[in-house]
Amino acid sequence: MPNETGPLVVVLAYDGLCTFEFGLAVEVFGLPRPEMGPGWYRFAVAGLDPGPLRATGGVRLLVDGGLDLLEAAEIIVVPGWRGADVPVPDALCASLRRAAARGARLLSICSGVFVLAAAGLLDGRHATTHWRHAARLAERYPAIAVEADVLYVDEGQVLTSAGSAAGLDLCLHLVRRDFGAEAANAVARRLVVPAHRDGGQAQFIERPVPRAPVGARVAPVLDHMLARLDRPHPLPALARIAGMSLRSFLRHFRAATGLAPGEWLLQQRLERARELLETGNAGIEQIAQACGFGTAATLRHHFHRRLGLGPSDYRRRFRREGAGAQAFPRSKVQGPVVPPPATGLAPGDG
C-alpha cells in the first residue's frame, strides 16, 4: 500500500478466483500511479479461504490477509464468484454488511453480484450482472431490480457491473467519481481503452471507439454534422453530401456507425454539451443553442433520459478543475472522425 492517505480498496480473493475480473481491479486500483499524487488509492487483497488460493488458469495466489482487512476497507471489490448457485459463506456476508453499515462502498464485477445479493445489500436497489446470469439473479432475489441490458449500475454506495470486461467500465467510472474526468481519462489512456462505453443506460461517454472503419463517402457527412451541431440536418441533404440515394445513405451510415443519423447526431450533441458543462461557464440556454438542442428544456429532457441527471447537476458533479473559459464555438474538426459504437457490446462471462 504505497500511498498514505487515499481510499483503501480491498479486493476479495477466494479459492476458484475469477482471474480476469481480479486483474481488472488490480490494474485500475492496485498499480503505483505516482502521477496521481499521494491521495491515490491504497490497495490490499483479502482472502476468504486459507491460501495459497487457486485461480482460473492454474494461477496460485498469496494474499495480504483475511476477512479482517474488510473492516478497514473504504471500497470493497468482489471480482466474480464461484458460480451463481454456489452458497456464499455467512462470515463473508456478515463482513460485507458491517462494511456497508459503516459507509464502505461495495463494487461487484459480473457474477460477484451474487455475493452482494446473498448479503442482502441489493434489496430494493437496481443491479446488473452478465446477461447469462440476469434471469437467475432476478429469480433468486426478487427484491432486486435487475437491469440486464446495461454495462453497470451505480446505486451510490453499491455498484454492479455486467460481464467481465464491463468491470473495467465500472472501475473507471468509480475513478471518475472519486478523482474526476481527467484522472479517469489518464487511467484509460494507459489501458488503451475508451474512458466510457455506451451500454444503453446512464454512462457518461468520453471518446467512443469506432464500430468499423468509416466509409470514405460517409466520413465527409460526419465532418459536416460535427462542424455544425447547432444546425438542423435533414436526411436528404446529408444523402446529397454523400452522393448517394437516401436509401443507400441510410444503409451505409448505419454500417459505419452502428446508428441511424439522428441517433448519432444526438450522441454527438450530448457529448459536446457535456464538454461545455465540464469546461466552461456558459448558461444552460446558451449551451443548448450551441449544441443544436434549441432550448434548455430540450437539453434537460435528453440529459435526464440518457444520463439520469440534469445539466446543472452534471456540471456540479463533473466540472473540471480550473474550468472557466467558455469553450465554444466548436473548433473545426481535425483528423478522422471517430463515431460511437453500437449499443449492446457483449461483455465476458466472468
**Cα-flanking dihedrals φ and ψ of residue 151, to 5°?**
-80, -40
CA neighbor of 73 nearest in space, from 161, 7, 3, 13: 7
**∠ CA 13-16-18 to the nearest 5 degrees?**
70
The two beta strands, 42-47 and 105-109, are unpaired
Instruction: Give the pLDDT score at 275.
Output: 85
Instruction: Give the pLDDT score at 196.
Output: 61
In this prediction the pTM is 0.61
350 residues of the chain, pLDDT tens digit each: 455 688 999 999 999 999 999 999 999 999 988 888 889 999 999 999 987 899 999 999 999 999 999 999 999 999 999 999 999 999 999 999 999 999 999 999 999 999 999 999 999 999 999 988 999 999 999 999 998 878 888 898 999 999 888 999 899 989 988 888 788 888 888 887 766 665 443 343 333 434 444 467 888 899 899 999 999 999 999 999 999 999 999 999 988 887 889 989 998 898 889 888 888 889 999 999 999 999 999 999 998 887 777 899 888 877 755 544 433 433 332 233 333 333 222 333 34
Give SS3 for 41. coil
β-bridge mates for residue 11, sequence order: 45, 77
Give SS3 for 303. helix
Question: Can you say whether the dihedral through the CA atoms of 88, 96, 121, 135 is positive or negative?
Answer: negative
Q: Are 177 and 30 in contact (CB under 8 A)?
A: no
Grid cell in block for residue 218:
460517409
As a whole number of angstroms, the distance between CA 116 and CA 244 comes to 53
